[in-house]
A and B are shown apart, each in its own frame.
Chain A
Amino acid sequence: MARDAPPRWDRRMQQRLARGEAAALGELYDRFAALVHSQAHRMLDDEDAADQVTREVFGYVWENPDAYDPKHGSMRSWVARLTHRRSVQRLRSEHGVDHGTDTDARAADLEHRVLKATAAARADYIVASMPAPLRAALELAYVQRRDYRQAAADLGVTGDEARRRLRLGLQLLSTANTRPSADSAPPGYGPTP
């Protein structure tokens, strides 16, 4: 996909991090901070918590660059998985602290929140990594409230093509709603290790 960095970048970044190069850490942050922070924020709905997860995720990557295995997907998808895992842990622990006595109903409520937050964060990830033409069509229709004919004109494509892109974009996005198990890589984050 257009957005995914070439694997060469991933491998090189891994080497540079392993070598202890602070400049590489800065570049890593520049590339992924917005992803990590927005995903964490989508899941936790709290600025400070998202800041904290951002620190933890980059701290983990910096301390454990060898934990990344390029055979199992892009570094971007790995970082997204780490963010997801950390955010879920945080949701769970907050819940545990708030309600010492966990009833079944509360546990179910928590699972519901985790699933909802996961789907929302995954949807963002999917939108960010879908092919640019699909994203542009969705943006015109959803954000700028253009109908598909206007969107087609804006994009310089036929009405047929605009309809196709909107449908395909939503189809991709709808995979965010498929039920994941919280710790495995959900669809959209690339292959599961």
Chain B
Amino acid sequence: MNGDHGGDGRDGEQPAERRIPGPRAAADDQESLPPVRHRGSEPPEPPEPPDPPGPSAPPLPHRVLKSLLGAWALAACSAEETAAVEEHLTSCARCADEALRLRDAVGLLHTDGTLDLDPMLRSRVLEGCLGRRPARIPVPSWAAPYDAETARLDALLRDIRDSEWHAPVRLKWFEGDQQVNRRTTVAGVIGHLMAVDGLVSTALGLDDPLGKGDGSPPPTPTGRTEAYWSAALRPPTRTVREPWRDQSHSLVRTVSFAGRGVAEMSVPYGDFALPLQDSLLERAFECWVHGGDIADAVDYPYEPPAAAHLQRMIDLAARLLPATLSERRRVGLAAPARHLVTAGSPGRSLHLEVEGRGGGDWYIALDSPAALGSADHTVAQVALDGVEFCRLVAGHVPPVEAAAGQEGDREAIRDVLFAAASLSRL
């Protein structure tokens, strides 16, 4: 019976009246027993078959009249019932008493629930707390973006209705330099995030959300997502929120306890691997990007991450670019290297100038992942906004439309922008 609101068993939620459309006409004139307003402007409903219409209708028994008091106070019964209740109240003191009380209680309900918690309040409150009493077991700074982004997405999920969990979402990414997409739902996106976060859980020795099942789950993000989606007997619902959130909480907790060395622990993604600190950053990035996809689908605003977190995300993408370029070169998707560079020495570079929130300057080594990016060896420059760069990396904007300012070696620019888009995946 409580499949809807009680389903996730989560505490700290808002009253059901949050985020509600237009206000109901005031039901808060508490001075006197009111003449009850009938529903909207619709004609009163015809009475139900057991209550024959007309003046000949037998009076409703006391038991029924009493049971109608709640519906009456909420103006949620038919015109005939309303009249019968009000008639009854003139002669039954106990019911009149209760009617008043319930009517006053309706005045305590409210619909002005549009006040969403400012997502940035979390970091301010936590900082304030930690200033008063430093943590003995802090959350590592490299896990902070993941902690913040999962909390932000969770706050969005708390505010959406049951039906919105089934709103269609189109996931977009690049494959072989073509934008591709895939349809799923809000709940399907959360399942996707959970399945891929499971790579990190598994690496840390935590339970895999895909379970033990028959055989081990596929090792790649896409494979895991497909496995999760196809294993579900029914389309996923909001019940996916709790296991997703539990997993993200336990990841943050586990890395807090794990000590220094864990930052460099390798997290395998099937065909590549990332050190744990980059892996959680990548998960934070995905969480933000898909949070944005979900917000679009349910028509909510969704801001970019805090500047310091955004900058870490951009930095990760910039660090991944040289190896991606070289891989694309190997399969003929990027132009050949121009120079041989000795490992560790500066080589031909592209200056990535990121403006706005999370901005900064990065020098992308073009000829070899082992080379150092260098301002002195810049052959091309690309300028773009931080959020726009992230949208490019997420595969949400085509590379040819991405950069606001371009200067220098056009081939290098093209290769880097396409490599950035190819960092995206399902």
Q: What residue in chain A is nearest B40 (Cβ atoms)?
A: A145
Most chain A CB neighbours (cut-off 10 Å) among B39, B67, B136, B249:
B67
The answer to whether A149 and B12 touch across the interface, beta carbons within 8 angstroms, is no
Known: A30-B151, A34-B117. A147 touches B125 (CB 8 A): no
Looking at the assembled complex, report how far the CB atom of A43 sits from the nearest CB atom of chain B, in whole angstroms.
13
The answer to whether A136 and B4 touch across the interface, beta carbons within 8 angstroms, is yes
Q: Decide if A72 is an interface residue (CB 8 Å cutoff).
A: no
The answer to whether A131 and B14 touch across the interface, beta carbons within 8 angstroms, is no
The answer to whether A170 and B73 touch across the interface, beta carbons within 8 angstroms, is yes
Looking at the assembled complex, report how far the CB atom of A11 sits from the nearest CB atom of chain B, in whole angstroms.
14
The interface bits of chain A over 147-190 (1 if a CB of B lies within 8 angstroms of the residue's CB, else 0) are 11101000000011011111111110110110000000000000
The answer to whether B108 and A160 touch across the interface, beta carbons within 8 angstroms, is no
Tell me the count of chain B residues lying within 8 A, CB to CB, of chain A: 71
Q: Decide if B84 is an interface residue (CB 8 Å cutoff).
A: no
The answer to whether A21 and B108 touch across the interface, beta carbons within 8 angstroms, is no
Q: Decide if A97 is an interface residue (CB 8 Å cutoff).
A: no
Q: Once the chains are docked, how many angstroms separate the CA of A163 from the CA of B108?
A: 19
The answer to whether B133 and A62 touch across the interface, beta carbons within 8 angstroms, is yes
Q: What residue in chain B is nearest A156 (Cβ atoms)?
A: B1
Looking at the assembled complex, report how far the CB atom of A115 sits from the nearest CB atom of chain B, in whole angstroms.
13
Q: What residue in chain A is nearest B158 (Cβ atoms)?
A: A34
Q: Which of B12, B24, B126, B147 contacts A142 (CB 8 A)?
A: B24
Q: Decide if B11 is an interface residue (CB 8 Å cutoff).
A: yes
The answer to whether A128 and B129 touch across the interface, beta carbons within 8 angstroms, is no
Known: A22-B139, A142-B17. A176 touches B2 (CB 8 A): no
Q: Which residues of A contact B121 (CB under 8 A)?
A: 33, 37, 51, 54
Which of B74-82, B228-236, B288-296 makes up part of the contact surface? B74-82
Q: Once the chains are docked, how many angstroms separate the CA of A62 from the CA of B28?
A: 39
In the complex, chain B residues 67-116 whose Cβ is within 8 Å of any chain A Cβ: 67-71, 73-74, 76-78, 101-102, 104-106, 108-111, 115
The answer to whether B39 and A128 touch across the interface, beta carbons within 8 angstroms, is no
Q: Which of B68, B108, B115, B136 contacts A177 (CB 8 A)?
A: B108
The interface bits of chain B over 198-224 (1 if a CB of A lies within 8 angstroms of the residue's CB, else 0) are 000000000000000000000000000
A-B contacts, 16 of them at CB < 8 A, read A5-B11, A20-B137, A22-B130, A29-B125, A59-B129, A76-B12, A123-B108, A133-B6, A143-B16, A143-B24, A145-B40, A146-B76, A147-B76, A163-B68, A165-B70, A173-B108
